[in-house]
Chain A
Amino acid sequence: MDSETVIRVKNLVARYGDKVILDGVSFDVRRGEILAVVGRSGCGKSTLLRHMLGLEPISSGEVLIFGQNIGRCSGPELQQLLRRIGVLFQSSALIGSMTLGENVALPISEHARLANTVVHDLVHMKLCMVGLAEHARQLPSQLSGGMRKRAGLARALALSPEILFLDEPTAGLDPITAAQIDRLVAHITHSMGTTTVMITHEIESVFNIAQRVIMLDPTVRGIIAQGRPLTLKKSSRDPLVQQFFNRQPFQVI
């Protein structure tokens, strides 16, 4: 694994009980790249993400992040690895009993040796980045779904991660906010060299910011197409790919 490859998924098999969700999935993600993972509902996108984060036991194959097998990491080694990763969950997963400011401050206070006033400034900066600086003292339950999503993104960015995993970052957001989040992700990737893996259904986001796209499909339980988004849309002869990118209703092929 060369130094430019930050994530390598090798022959990954993921299953829940007897049901195989992903069967022999392999791909690399290179430093500074925005990779979009797309596919129909139930094709295993979120399952892939959970396995890449080590949240599910890997049945077979391996996931290497910065050359380390996340399935075999544990203790301080795993903590060290996870500090370099930021995750935005589909449901935002903010801690309900904490204000937005406290949610964002949580990983910073835990992992960065900074004075409280500095942490406050940093939290303010992160919330400014997502346009929520005025809401620092509000609880997640007092905010709209879109605001919670942006707060989740601010928390994911708290430690300036080298890899950013985003699960449906723009789902359920209005087009303006969605475009702002797309632009923020693109800026972070370009200016800080962050690598981004984005699970999404939003075709517009894929075309706007993704440099490469991987398409999963439940029938093959794996990747059916990968490449640059526009190239795939224009040149792929796979009818499933065409149906997906052109928003056509599913037909049995």
Chain B
Amino acid sequence: MGAWAFEPLNGHRKSMPESATVSDKQFALVPGKGGALYVYLTGNIDVQSASLLIDKLPPLIEKHTPRRLTVDLDAVQHFDDFGALLLFHLKHLMSGLKGHFQLHAVPPHVAEVLTMVDFAGHKKCRFPQKNRPLNFLVRLGGAIIDDAANIRFSLSFLGDILISLVHICRHPRSLRWDDSIFHMENSGVAALPIVGLISFLLGLIMAFVSSLQLRQFGAGIYVAALVALAMVSELGPIITAIIFSGRSGSAFAAEIATMQISEEIDALHTMGFDPVRFLALPRVTASLVMVPVLTLFSDLFAIAGGLMVGTLMLDLTASAYISKTLATLTLFDTLWGMFKSVVFAFLISWVGCLRGFQARGGPSAVGRAATSSVVTSIFLIILFDSIFAVIRSTW
């Protein structure tokens, strides 16, 4: 019995039914002499009953303000750690009332549970408080250190990719072509329907909105020029890049992050593979090839959308619309759009792979990597597009 075997109850047990002031199916309270109070527990004190008893018993005991509480467990049948929790609460209650707590007639099976949960040594649980918010300067310093480490890792990763790209240009066979083609199919060919549909609708909307104004001046034919120029030099590369970052950049981040947290990347490293060349290069190469191709398709679908509005709403002939489109576009515009799309492709694939490699922790790190890759990619796309706009305007 050890720590919970205490003094006899001096006949109180026999007089329990008569003198019980409060009784229930599972407990009875019997006041004794000199501020003593006896609690008799019966039946199953377990997961089914303990929560009710934890609610009921303490207020009843508090009413008596006992100096000494004795809990008799002789008639207890099934007892589990929820029962131990009840006893623990009564013990804690008595320590709050500056009274004495004791157990009596502890059956062996109850004693075993109490030993298992270390009832004698158990203290009121105090989970460590949530960390207090740190001082502003400490937080600022921490953020600067984290950001510096992040920038350092990002630049180092960028360097790794650029060196690997140069290596591939010199040794094309070192590229994992199977993986690259797989990613070209997965992130390029499979993205064609959604890129095509969105670009078609975008071209349609642009033509429709601009036609409302231009038609008033009899300049409906310029809808073709507007759609072609806006799409090929600006919107085509941007919209394709945004779709690609949401669809494929996030997938790159999630795939690599999953590999990172499941130690697959460590395994590659220990097998003598360079994880950047093994995982990042095929994705970067696939993106560099497929994003410009998707951009080209995006331009074509948008022009088709404009053509639909031109022929159905502006009474233009298809040949007139196409002639105006071709006359407006220059080779430079098209190549400029392609160049931008190559830069965007590099940014998206770099950021996607980077966020994947940076992932640490559990499964939530995968979600964080995917989200962060999309947000960072879109920011970089817009930032670089602004830079390109400035360059072109000052050219």
Contacts and interface: CB of A to CB of B under 8 A. Distances in A.
A82 B54 CA distance: 24
A141 B363 CA distance: 9
A122 B85 contact: yes
A192 B362 contact: no
A129 B81 contact: yes
Contact of A159 (B47, B116, B361, B365): B47
Contact of A124 (B78, B79, B112, B127): B127
Interface residues of B, number: 30
B128 A137 contact: yes
Interface in B30-57: 46-47, 51, 54
Q: Which of B79, B113, B116, B128 has the most CB of A within 10 A?
A: B116
B13 interface: no
A118 B118 CA distance: 17
A235 B125 CA distance: 51
A119 to B, nearest CB: 10
Q: Which of A112, A125, A137 has the most CB of B within 10 A?
A: A125
B122 A128 contact: yes
B364 A96 contact: yes
A190 interface: yes
B81 A125 contact: yes
B83 to A, nearest CB: 9
Contact of A160 (B47, B54, B112, B365): B47
Interface in A82-116: 96-97, 101, 112-115
A187 B84 CA distance: 15
A122 B82 contact: yes
A192 B113 contact: yes
A120 B362 contact: no
B112 A101 contact: no
Contacts of A141: 261, 361-362, 365
A126 to B, nearest CB: 7
B112 A187 contact: yes
B11 to A, nearest CB: 30
Interface string A37-60: 000000000000000000000000
A190 B117 contact: no
B67 interface: no
Given A120-B125, A121-B85, A140 B116 contact: no
Interface in B74-126: 78-82, 84-85, 88-89, 109, 112-113, 116-118, 122, 124-125
A11 B310 CA distance: 72
A188 interface: yes
A67 interface: no
A191 B112 contact: yes
Q: How large is the interface on A (under 10, 10 to 19, 20 to 34, 35 or more residues)?
A: 20 to 34
Interface in A123-178: 123-126, 128-129, 136-137, 139-141, 157, 159-160
A193 interface: yes
A242 to B, nearest CB: 36
B151 to A, nearest CB: 25
Nearest to A191: B112
A6 B66 CA distance: 44
A120 B123 CA distance: 12
Contact of A121 (B116, B118, B125): B125
A184 interface: yes
A157 B47 CA distance: 11
Contact of B125 (A97, A114, A124, A139): A124
A125 B112 contact: no
Interface string B346-383: 00000000000000011111000000000000000000
A129 to B, nearest CB: 6
Contact of B361 (A137, A139, A184): A139
A160 B116 contact: no
Nearest to B78: A193
Interface of A: 96-97, 101, 112-115, 118, 120-126, 128-129, 136-137, 139-141, 157, 159-160, 184, 187-188, 190-193
